[in-house]
Structures are given as C-alpha cells and as structure tokens.
Amino acid sequence: MSGRAMHEYLKAYAAHFGIRDKIKLNCKVDSVEYCEGDHGVGKEWIIKCTTTTEPGHEKSNTIRTRKLILATGLTSQPRIPTFSGQQSFGAPLFHAKEFARYQDTLFAKPSNDNRGDQHEGTRDDHAPITVLGGSKSAWDTVYACASKGHRVNWVIRPSGTGPAWVSPAAIFSPFNLLLESLPVVRALGWFSPCAWVSHPIRNFLHRTWLGSIIVRLFWASLEWDMVRVNRYSDHEETAKLRPWFQPFWVGTAVSIINFPGDFFRLIRQGLVKVHIADVERLEPYRVVLSNGGDTLDTRALILCTGWKVSPGIRFLPDGTEQEVGFPWAADPIDQELVREARKDIYTRLPMLHTGPERRTYHTKNEEGQTHTNETVLHPFRLARFIVPPGLWDDHSIAFLGTVTTFNTPLVAEVQALWALVYLDHGSELHHHQDKESIVSETALHTEFCALRSPAGHGVRTADFVFEVMPYFDLLLGDLGLRTARKGSWWENLFVPHLPRDYAGLVEEWKVRRSISQEGQKIKTT
C-alpha cells in the first residue's frame, strides 16, 4: 500500500469517527513527567510539547492527564551511525526514511562535465550508490536504485544479523500458501514454542524427542522452500545474500518480495555488488571498508540501519525510564527472577537453549574507536506487552505498538481494547491483580521473546510470528471474550483468521460488561 493511500485512509478514518479536532498536528512531545497532581487528586502525567504554528515559529504548551497511552511504535527515531571522516565525506548521507527527499537528485541524469575519475576524492555523478544494511528496507533501496539502471555497492556488516530472509507471497508450491496467512492458522502455531500457552499437542512437540524432530522438519521445509525459490547459489553475488540464521530464530525479520521486476536478475546482470564488511571510515566521496581496505567511490551513502528503540521522549523524574521498563534503562525486574524465568523456559521449551548469540550494532566514531550506537540491556519489560509491571496498580499508562508481528492491524485492534479496559475498568480484567504474579509473568514473557528471536528484534521488544494466535487468546481471555472466532472447531484450527473474524470486539465487550453488571445488581439485591 502506498503512503498516499494510507494517508487518505487515515484522513477518512478521522472524519468518519469525528476525531479530527482531537488531533494536534505539527506537535512534538519533549518530555513526560509522572508526579503528584494539584489539589490532592493523585498522580498525573505532565506532557510538555512544542507545536510548530508556521515555519520558524514554535509554541510550547503543557498537557496534564491521569491516563496516558504511548503509541509511538518502534519506528519513530531512525538509527543513524556515525563514522570516522564523516564531516569531510561530501556526498549525501541519509537514512532510508529520507529516500523520497533525495531520489530526484540521485536519479537525475548524470552530467558529463561532472566526473570525478580525473581527480580523487571529488564528486562523480557516474559513481555507484552505496547502501548499508541487510534489512528489507535495504532490499527496497537497492531495487529502487538498480531498477533505474544505477550501479549499487551493497554493504552488509559481518557483525550484524546479515541479509534478511525474503520470500514470495506464496510458498510451499504447489499448495501456494500465503506466507502472511500462516501465523494466523492456529494449528500451525503448534510448531512454534510459546511461553504463554500450554496444550497437550504443544507439550508433545516441544518436550519430547519425537516432537522435536517434527518441529525441526517443519521449519527446515519452510527454509528449504525459500532457498529454493530465491536460487541463491546461481551466482556468486546472490550467494552472499543467503541469510545467516535459520528462519526459526529471526522472528519477523522475514519479508515478502513485492518488487514488480526480478530483484536477483539485477544482481546477476552486474548492477549490484555485495560486500560483507563494516564501514571502516569515510573519505571525500569514498567509503572505505574493513575487509582489507576496499575503497568504494560513491555519490551517496544510504543508511538502511533500522530504528532506535527509544521513542525520543524524555521521561521524568530520574528513574521513571527504569520504572516503565525501557530496554536502555536498568532492569526493573530483579535478576534472580529473570534467571528463574529463563530456567523455566529452558525446562518447558528446551529447543530455545540452542539459539544463536545476540548481535550488537557498532560502528567507529570520529576518533576511530569502536562504540555501541544503542544500548539494549534487556527486553522492554511490559506486562502483556502493554503495561509497565511496576505501575500496574496505578492504571495510568499503557504502551501500544511495541509488538512486532506480521499481523499488526489485528494486534492493534485487540491491544487497544485491552488497554482501554485496563485504564478505565482494570478490576474487570480476568487477570491476576497481585503485583508479584504480574512481575513474575512479565519476566517470563519478555525473556521468552529474547530467547525466541535472538536474530530478530526479540532482544529489545516483543517479536513473534506463530505466537500471535495464543497472544490474541491471552488478551481476549482477560477481557472475558470468546477466543474461538470461527463457526467450527475445524475452521478454528486450520483456516486463517482474518480481521473480519474479530469485527465487533468492542460491542461484544460492552454486552459482556452489561450482563456482568446486571448480575452484580441481582447478587446485591
């Protein structure tokens, strides 16, 4: 879906539900503070914002609220590494999110009087474009450049997680199953370990030697099909794009090939050269790599380096970032409890004991010293991946959009209802309310994600694929709503769940709450 189409949809949505006047556009949140409110009304959140009224004119304002939902998601702040020699690089250097701003310049017809081959370190409009990163955004950027006839040097750092898995929309020929529909087939979820559900079939598959063989065969067949279709071994350059980790360990770091043309043909034609190396330093209009000092003449360096885990908002007072469970702050959960959670996971799901080690993102700074661009000390500690366990009893804050999954619209729908019920009717959730149980469960669930997707995003936030159906069941169970959304047990197990199966959740909850309240009235009389 294009950005323009999404924009039109959001405008229509706001108009349909009458929320346009509730939206503050051109408004940036600078800080959020949790403190005692005025007049003894308890704690409240103070949100300080800066609104751009017109170019060059800004206005500061403050919002006070007792209930706060942070829905900034996971892609608000681009991760932009720094490099030695960056100040004198000269060529455009930008994150992939800015690609649209630069593409007219990048794709402009080269000027014959502006070649740099006669003078080292000068601009050359005929030089290749350099793309750094192995994620799907890197694939998109490489295709956008190469499909226009521009040469590309594609740099993938060996210290990272390597090239992303890519797949056609349909897999397992001749069955041609849609990749995006597999996670919402409940029975297929049995082949993926999960810490928040227990079932006899799951116990057999993940706790016995025979079950383990069956699970490995399922994932091996999935991997084999993607490798077969992409034909990595057909060319020495495409061979470098074969992913380094098995699909089992990468979580949502699997993407659908949605290009109008043949991506791999562009590589076989010689338009794209793949380099497995770190960026050692930058020189004027050159990128120097770590693999023996290879030097790449370039007219632009495009950073497909992902996103920071931080929402870019300062939380006050000091210690609040730890209390809400942010990955870069000290862990709010006692480490003994974390160790117990890991021990429990390894006992219940022994396959997770064999996972790859976590990779750390690093570059070299201006002084040539290796440093970490982003510190991740632990996964985002959120109960149900929504609420900081330390603030559970306050019913004052919820985080939405911190789960990475193939089924974001469905997750957003269910999470939004759960969060509103928690904030306004917390006692009506069918969930244990004692803080000790909540903290223990949060440790179990968040550590599971770190162990389940170490080559994906699990080390910093919830990242799951086939675990999404049990997650829906978890939240719907808390709300007292039915988890079987289809007409028969067969469909519930073997037919993909679609958005229409979850239509009317809000009305369902209202009816259930009304019945519950009527029952309470009868009991009291």
pLDDT per residue as tens digits for the range 312-367: 899 999 899 999 999 999 999 999 999 999 999 999 999 999 998 865 545 444 55
> In the prediction, which pLDDT does 118 show?
45
Last residue in a domain, options 303, 319, 338: 303
Q: List, for residues 235-249, the tens digit of each pLDDT value.
A: 999 999 999 999 999
Residues 153, 56 within the same domain = no
- Is there a single domain that holds both residue 128 and residue 60? no
Cβ 486 vs Cβ 395: under 8 Å: no
- Does residue 510 belong to any structural domain of this protein? no
d(C-alpha 93, C-alpha 105), whole Å: 13
> Is 299 inside a domain boundary?
yes
User: What percentage of the chain carries pLDDT values higher than 70?
Assistant: 92
Q: What is the number of other CB atoms lying within 10 angstroms of the CB of residue 240?
A: 17
Residues 259 and 193 in one domain: yes
Percent with pLDDT over 90 in the chain: 74
Whether 67 contacts 302, CB under 8 Å: no
Q: Is residue 322 part of a domain?
A: no
pLDDT of residue 122: 67
Same domain, yes or no: 130 and 199 = yes
Residue 388 located in a structural domain: no
Amino acid 149: pLDDT: 93
Same domain, 53 and 199: no
Tens-digit pLDDT profile for residues 256-304: 998 999 999 999 999 999 999 999 999 999 999 998 778 999 999 999 9
Residue 45 and residue 32 in contact, taking contact as beta carbons nearer than 8 Å? yes
- Residue 55's pLDDT band, with cuts at 50, 70 and 90, is confident
- Residue numbers of the domain that contains 58: 1-66
Give φ, ψ of 224 to 5 degrees.
-60, -40
pLDDT above 80: residue 368 = no
Are 225 and 166 in contact by the 8 Å Cβ rule? The answer is: no
Cα(201)–Cα(193) distance, rounded to whole angstroms? 11
What is the average per-residue pLDDT within 403-420? 94
Helix (H, G, I), strand (E, B) or coil at 235: coil
Assess if residue 467 is contained within a domain. no
> What is the rounded average pLDDT of the residues 193-207?
95
Taking residues 181-192, report their average pLDDT.
96
**Helices assigned H by DSSP within 368-434:** 408-425
Same domain, 62 and 174: no
57 and 91 assigned to the same domain: no
Band (pLDDT 50/70/90 cuts) for residue 176 is confident
Strands (DSSP E) contained in 277-435 are 279-283, 286-289, 295-297, 301-303, 314-316, 362-364, 370-372, 397-399
108 shares a domain with 218: yes
Residues 62 and 93 in one domain: no
Give the pLDDT of residue 367: 55
Confirm whether 400 is domain-assigned: no
Name the DSSP class of 503: T
Q: What is the pLDDT of residue 175?
A: 74
DSSP character for 498? -
* pLDDT value of position 371: 46
pLDDT at 33: 96
Here the tokens at position 177 are 């199953």
Residue 372: pLDDT over 70: no
By C-alpha distance, which of 354, 438, 361 is closest to 393?
438
111 and 230 in a common domain: yes
Does a structural domain hold residue 226? yes
Q: Are residues 119 and 204 in the same domain?
A: yes
What is residue 34's three-state secondary structure? Answer: strand
Residue where a domain stops, chosen among 274, 303, 332: 303
**pLDDT attached to residue 112:** 55
Instruction: Provide the residue type at 220 as one letter.
Output: A
245 shares a domain with 137: yes
Tell me: cis bond preceding 317? Omega within 30 of 0 counts: yes
**What pTM, to 2 d.p., does this model score?**
0.91
Return the CATH number at 264. 3.50.50.60
Could you say which of 303, 331, 355 is where a domain stops?
303
Measured between alpha carbons, how far apart are the two ends of the chain, in Å?
A: 56
Q: What whole-number distance in Å separates Cα of residue 255 and Cα of residue 260?
A: 15
* 49 assigned to some structural domain: yes
The tens digit of pLDDT for each residue in 300-327 reads 999 999 988 888 899 999 899 999 999 9
Determine the pLDDT at residue 375: 74
Count structural domains, the chain.
Answer: 2
Mean pLDDT on 98-121: 69
